[in-house]
Structure 1
Amino acid sequence: MENFDASLSTYFRAWLGPRDTRVKGWFLLDNYIPTLLCSVIYLLIVWLGPKYMKNKQPFSCRGILVVYNLGLTLLSLYMFVEVSEMKFKENSDVEPGIQLFLFLFQLVTGVWESRYNFFCQGTRCAGESDMKIIRVLWWYYFSKLIEFMDTFFFILRKNSYQITVLHVYHHASMFNIWWFVMNWVPCGHSYFGATLNSFIHVLMYSYYGLSSIPSMRPYLWWKKYITQGQLIQFVLTIIQTTCGVIWPCTFPLGWLYFQIGYMISLIILFMNFYNETYNKKGASRRKEHPRDHQNGSVATVNGHTNSFSSLENNVKPRKQRKD
């Protein structure tokens, strides 16, 4: 395993240069093996989980999903307010025990305070502000591991049809890509895509949480626009990344080219999902199941769902386990 990790480091050193020593010793970052193993286990569960659940009753998971979707969204808003009141002075040491959803505000303030260059920003130009962004981006990387739970909930609730190529590709690839980001380019030009994606996820998981409350569903008309926002995010990231190619700085060009290619792949997959969900099937679904499509009651966004509506909208809902 050590030889494999050393070989991998040598290969990427030729592309991106030596690893960033500022993250040495950080949880999960010293060795690629844990990230790779977590991803392999994730893919095995995606493959074997539906087979295991085939002859079993679906789990309800309602309480867990409410906590997972709504609770974490409320926590992100709480942390946003708390941090904004502290004003993030340069010399203050802000490291709460739970920072999972803190990264959005920290990224914005860190970039503002350090006067990051939108067109191209190196990874060693802003001192302590760079370190603040590195700390936040580590939580962004770690959040991609937690988001594997989206898929596991689908399996437990026997909503395996929602585990699409887009869903698995997005979840598995992001966790691995961000391991490399954190080891080679953990700040600088890397901040932009993470900032946009964090904002989209606040909206997305807010939608999931609210959709679990029946009285709120008539007001949830904006699920379609979350997907549109995701597509806009990819386009903006490509534009900002291309700026770094046209007006280069010390940020590695190899990573910029890779990010442009990855964003294009996401645009293709998300556009296909958007077309299949809202253009081709929208009219036929409304005609066949008009109650399923009133005021956004079906909470499908970005290849995910909140896993509540499918059971509640079926004519003959499956019997659910209570555990």
Structure 2
Amino acid sequence: MDLLPALCLCLLICSGAAFSHQTGSEVIRKIVKEDQDALLFCALDGTNIAEDVFDWKTDGSSRHEVFVYRGSSYGDHLPGQDAHFKDRVFHFPEQLAVGNASIVIRKTQVTDSGNYTCYFPFHEPRRRAQYELIVEYILKPRNIPGAAQDPFIVYNKTSDGVLLQCVVRRAFPKPRVEWRDSSGSILTTEPTFTQKDMSFDVFLRATVTRSGFYRCVATQEEIHNEVFTETYVPGPGAASKPSVTNLKQTSDWALLQCEVLGASPKPSVFWKDDSGNIIKSEEPEVTERRGSYDIVLQTTVTKEGFYHCEVTQAEISHQVSAKTNVFFGGEF
């Protein structure tokens, strides 16, 4: 159980008052966002209900079965539960001894919205709790006709910085497309739209001069769809992907080399094994030209597996790596 619902349950049960007056005469409105969990409280005073029966239903043409508990059997183990709720509704077996018949609906959907009633068929009053559950839409990727798919991004270095271009194709209704930096701020740009057969292609360009992550976001409020693609723009002097080479190999060892060229500021360079552990290496060969650094780092390994050369420039929040595989099964 998640910590927050558990704490809520503890407070309600320990107070002794919250459950004792639930007779179902009052409809409680509960509002959650799509994909959140919904916790619906219900109890039979402080009575042990481990061998009892309680039933949750929601409104509809056939009053859909949400969850039913009968003795030690419940939910998916009993016939009649609506397939819509299968594997998504859970109760609190450790709280049955104090009369707790509450349920949690995991990862709510908008179609979960409706009126929910908790029944104890062999006790009076039978109806113990009523909820109006409202599940509100959120913006997220939707797999429906017309929904924009993940944008396509390309970027090119120019004399002014880096030109980012975002492309969103065949979207309907017309999406709002924005470039956002790593802080979430929207870059001032103007999109270009082309329309064909009621769908829209969108092209959005932005020139940036600072390194960091940039995100192209396409939003269609009308269908609650939002998708994005993110890219990293390296700053001037950011190290490119290092070159890794197996210089020499015998039947029981291999000499690996990592080469980094033209990096500024000076990077940290390490060899790591496939578990992420730094392995012992030779002293790096460092060449500096006008504040730009070339670095060569060698290591000798005696075990098979993948090895990574990792290059980090903390000052500009930049990191790249390359890997190679060492295998001693061949002939030398």
Greater C-alpha Rg: 2
Superposition TM-score, scaled by structure 1 size: 0.24
Superposition TM-score, scaled by structure 2 size: 0.24
* Bigger fraction of residues in strand: 2
Greater relative CO (CA pairs within 8 A, separation 6+): 1
